[in-house]
């Protein structure tokens, strides 16, 4: 059965790997699994109605990654794949195996953000990412060793070299929040951001540190005379009629995720619409739209524009705050943008005394004055010397400190 074949494959079974690599129906089935995995990843992250291209990203990424990895393996082991099958057909078999690892990404679909606090959910997401990545690497090493007819230890080096480069490129090409520099500058970053930043820094550090090891190992393996043990598994077609029901599991899971979209996409739609208004400069309309809803009616962790931690400045936070002073906004909206403004000051420098006045005014208009005041003070602000010399500075600073002490 198709289900058992997939389960055995995910556990590294030799016969299951052989079946998936040889049966051309797995090309379509694997593509469907990639689509389902994309749904699981994005169903509560993006507004897919307006931006469906997010579902195409896994296809593009997997096609590029699988082709580059396959080319590297052919180069390293100096195997003329055309001796068994044409290069294109051999790559397709490799792609079928590559795509068959996609069901592991369903783990990303667990809505841990809805079950736990932000910091715990972030840690769980990072652990799931690590588990899936480790499992996939082991599967690719096992499957590639069988397909190329070499020992798994020899296959480990080029696969890990490719994985190391892919991770390094990934963490440096994706937008990341301010981390080390902001923290050293005194900014008090949210716990989840600190966890992600620290993890990204460590992973990036170890990819650089381990790169020479994987490179030397790969070059050493490439110089060895490799005699395939049993030839390529790609040369052994199987009777596809014995394996039915391949399409049923991914199709059923796809229907489940598409049903879940009816719950999550309305929230994403609200967030998308408001962000578009903000980026068009329709600040008053966007703040009014935000205030019509409760915080719980938006996606978990929704951070409307501008995202200060990602160095976004559209619309400028000063403009948003100016509009806030002119219109009525919901308390949660005011506090959200008040924290954004304070974080904006903490991750930069207070250049003018009126910025400190604005911070105080935001704190005074908040329903949680003491909490905001203390967060502001804990940020260890950096000031332009002219601000410190201003006659108003001592009075403004004393008032903020008094608000913090009232909470204590």
Instruction: Provide the pLDDT for residue 157.
Output: 93
Q: For position 283, what pLDDT does the model report?
A: 92
3-state secondary structure the chain: CHHHHHHHHHCCCHHHHHHHHHCCHHHHHHHHHHHHHHHHHHCCCCCCCCCHHHHCHHHHHHHHHHHHHHHHHHHHHCCCHHHCCCHHHHHHHHHHHHHCCHHHHHHHHCCHHHHCCHHHHHHHHHHHHHHHHHHHHHHHHHHHHHHHCCCHHHHHHHHHHHHHHHHHHHHHHCCCCCCHHHHHCCCCCCHHHHHHHHHHHHHHHHHHHHHHHHHHHHHHHHHCCCCCCCCCHHHCCCCHHHCCCCCHHHHHHHHHHHHHHHHHHHHHHHHHHHHHHHHCCCHHHHHHHHHCCCHHHCCCCCCCCCCHHHCCCCCCHHHHHHHHCCCCCCHHHHHHHHHHHHHHHHCCCECCHHHHHHHHHHHHCCCCHHHHHHHHHHCCCCECHHHHHCCCHHHHHHHHHHHHHHHC
Write down the pLDDT at residue 175: 64
Rounded to two decimals, the pTM is 0.80
pLDDT at 215: 93
pLDDT given for residue 185 in this prediction: 45
Q: What are the pLDDT tens digits along the chain (408 aa)?
A: 468 888 899 998 888 898 888 888 889 899 999 999 988 888 888 888 888 888 889 999 999 999 999 989 988 886 544 455 567 778 888 999 999 999 998 888 888 888 888 888 888 888 898 899 999 999 999 999 888 888 888 899 999 999 999 998 888 776 655 554 444 444 556 667 778 878 888 888 899 999 999 999 999 888 876 555 554 545 445 444 455 577 888 888 889 888 888 888 999 999 999 999 999 989 999 999 999 999 888 988 888 988 887 788 889 998 999 999 888 889 999 998 988 888 888 877 788 888 888 888 888 888 888 788 887 777 667 788 888 888 888 888 888 888 887 655
Question: Which pLDDT does position 177 carry in this prediction?
Answer: 58
pLDDT the model gives residue 69: 94
Question: Which pLDDT value is given to residue 257?
Answer: 86
């Amino acid at each position: 059965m198709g289900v058992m074949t997939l389960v055995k494959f995910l556990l590294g079974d030799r016969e299951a790997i052989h079946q998936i690599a040889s049966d051309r129906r797995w090309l379509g089935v694997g593509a469907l699994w990639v689509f389902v995995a994309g749904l699981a990843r994005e169903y509560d992250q993006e507004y897919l109605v307006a931006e469906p291209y997010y579902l195409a990203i896994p296809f593009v990424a997997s096609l590029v990654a699988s082709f580059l990895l396959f080319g590297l393996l052919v180069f390293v082991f100096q195997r003329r794949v055309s001796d068994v099958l044409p290069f294109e057909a051999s790559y397709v078999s490799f792609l079928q195996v590559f795509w068959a690892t996609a069901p592991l990404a369903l783990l990303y679909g667990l809505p841990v953000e809805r079950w736990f606090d932000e910091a715990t959910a972030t840690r769980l997401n990072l652990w799931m990412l690590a588990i899936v990545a480790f499992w996939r690497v082991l599967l690719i090493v096992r499957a590639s060793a069988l397909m190329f007819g070499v020992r798994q230890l020899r296959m480990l080096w080029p696969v890990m070299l490719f994985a190391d480069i892919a991770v390094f490129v990934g963490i440096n090409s994706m937008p990341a929040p301010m981390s080390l520099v902001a923290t050293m500058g005194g900014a008090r970053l949210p716990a989840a951001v600190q966890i992600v930043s620290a993890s990204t820094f460590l992973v990036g550090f170890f990819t650089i540190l381990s790169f020479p090891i994987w490179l030397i190992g790969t070059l050493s393996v490439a110089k060895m005379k490799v005699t395939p043990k049993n030839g390529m598994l790609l040369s052994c077609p199987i009777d596809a009629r014995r394996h039915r029901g391949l399409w049923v599991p991914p199709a059923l899971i796809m229907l489940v995720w598409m049903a879940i979209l009816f719950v999550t996409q309305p929230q994403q739609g609200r967030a998308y619409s408001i962000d578009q208004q903000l980026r068009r400069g329709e600040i008053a309309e966007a703040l009014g739209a935000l205030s019509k809803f409760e915080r719980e009616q938006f996606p978990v962790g929704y951070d409307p524009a501008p995202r200060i931690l990602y160095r976004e400045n559209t619309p400028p936070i000063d403009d948003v705050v100016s509009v806030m002073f002119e219109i009525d906004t919901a308390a949660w909206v005011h506090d959200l943008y008040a924290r954004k403004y304070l974080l904006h000051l903490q991750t930069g420098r207070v250049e003018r005394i009126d910025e400190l006045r604005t911070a105080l005014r935001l704190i005074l208009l908040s329903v949680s004055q003491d909490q905001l005041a203390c967060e502001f003070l804990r940020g260890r602000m950096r000031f332009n010397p002219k601000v410190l010399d201003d006659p108003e500075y001592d009075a403004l600073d004393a008032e903020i400190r008094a608000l913090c002490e009232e909470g204590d």
